[in-house]
Amino acid sequence: MSLKVRAVLVVVIGLVLGLSLSFGGGRFGSGEQPGNEELAFEQARLFAEVLERVKRDYVEPLDDAELMESAIRGMVSDLDAHSQYLDASEYRDIRISTTGSYTGIGIEIDEVDGRVLVVTPIAGSPAARSGLRSGDEIVAVDGIALETGNLHETIGQLRGHAGSQVRVSVLRDSDVIDHRMRRQVIRVASVHSEFLAPAYAYVRVSQFNENTARELRGAIDDLQHAAGSMLEGLVLDLRNNPGGVLDAAVEVADLFLDAGVIVSSEGRSLDSRFTRSAHRGDVLDGAEMVVLVNGGSASASEIVAGALQDHDRALVVGTATFGKGLVQTVVPLSKGRAIKLTTSRYYTPSGDSIHEVGVAPDVFIDDTPGHPDLSLSGVVNREADMQLAEAIEHLRARPVMHSNAR
């Protein structure tokens, strides 16, 4: 056994035995379990043996740090589908997604058939001002050709310090066009709103970040100001919303509720056990609501839909939601790394767990084939979208239900 592998074995044994003692195992713990240390030693030896064999016999040479990081990543990801080890870059991306802002040029991109395409430039961004268009193929950044199959690296190349310059080369109609621009702080809107009729509005929430509740409150205020009175009905579209920050979901649900539990959670640690309740004040003053959901509505989306449904505050229309009823906590580690760890299970106000079950709609309407991604198109299709059509029909058939309290 090599000196490096022996050193790894000593470290792993120390960690395993230390954890065993910390959690009350072994002869020194509160629950005496003879043989725990021996088992830990054998498992550590097995780990070291595998590590040595992989380093010696794998077809390509491997770096020690890379191997250890892969082992850590595998340990965490094997816990469940949602726990994850995050390197410094991945942790930075998680923080960006929760704050709703980043420094870059302001485009949404996707990889299609090995090509990195511009989905849409964000209005007012450097990308939009420079003339980048939806459908442009990005072929190089700062003169360096893109590597296909690595969208994450391309995103990293486009981001950088505010004020720094970047050159993006795109292929358009067989011509390569260079766009030079300076990066700036980009605010990613998570709320899109528009009128369905003079007193009826549509609001789509594409994700839940730290700004979502404030954006949603502002959008509803603007709609009511434009209408000149309180709205008579609202469609809240949570379809294909993968979730996000739990507190943001609580704040969004709280906008439409006057009282009662929004969500509760149970876990092993004290911090993972909590109950969140609504505060008095419904921004719609009791006006009718419909929430649209589908199989892409997950996590925070399900918290909002479940709370509004259980309190009879909204009719839920669409298909069953994804069914992610677990809460993850991001735990920072050294050198900018972190782990995203499942720490608790959450429950709707009725006490139900929706994990692997989802929120069942009150009215089932199957997904419309070819249903557009409204977060990208920015418009609603009232004729082809049967779920939205059902929501509008429900709103118009219901009497206005404003409260008398002022």
Q: How many other CB atoms are found less than 10 A from the CB of residue 154?
A: 17
Is 324 one of the catalytic residues? yes
- Catalytic member of 310, 340, 344, 385: 310
DSSP string, 4-30: HHHHHHHHHHHHHHHHHHHTT-STTSS
Q: What distance in Å separates the CA atoms of residue 330 and residue 336, rounded to the nearest whole number?
A: 12
Q: Which two tokens stand for residue 66?
A: 């890379």
Q: Which two tokens stand for residue 2?
A: 């090599």
HSE of 63 in the Cβ direction (CA atoms, 13 Å)? 4
Helices (H) and strands (E) in the chain, counts: 11, 19
The closest alpha carbon to 67, from 84, 83, 50, belongs to: 50
Which sign does the torsion angle of CA 380, 384, 385, 386 carry?
positive
CB burial of residue 34 (10 Å; 0-12, 13-18, 19+): exposed
Q: Measured in whole angstroms, how far is the alpha carbon of residue 236 from the centre of its chain?
A: 18
Is 271 one of the catalytic residues? no
Residue 291 near residue 305 (C-beta atoms within 8 A): yes
Alpha helices per DSSP H over 58-202: 64-77, 88-99, 126-130, 151-158
Is 367 one of the catalytic residues? no
- Catalytic member of 190, 299, 301, 344: 299
AA letter at 135: G
Residue with tokens 């709280």: 254
Phi-psi region of 259 (alpha: psi -120 to 50; beta: other; left: phi over 0): beta
Q: Which two tokens stand for residue 79?
A: 């816990």
- What stretches of 253-374 adopt beta strand conformation (E)? 261-267, 274-277, 288-293, 315-318, 326-332, 338-347, 363-364
DSSP state of 339: E
Q: Which two tokens stand for residue 217?
A: 């409150």
DSSP string, 142-173: TTEEPPTT-HHHHHHHH--STT-EEEEEEEET
Q: Which residues are designated catalytic?
A: 299, 310, 324
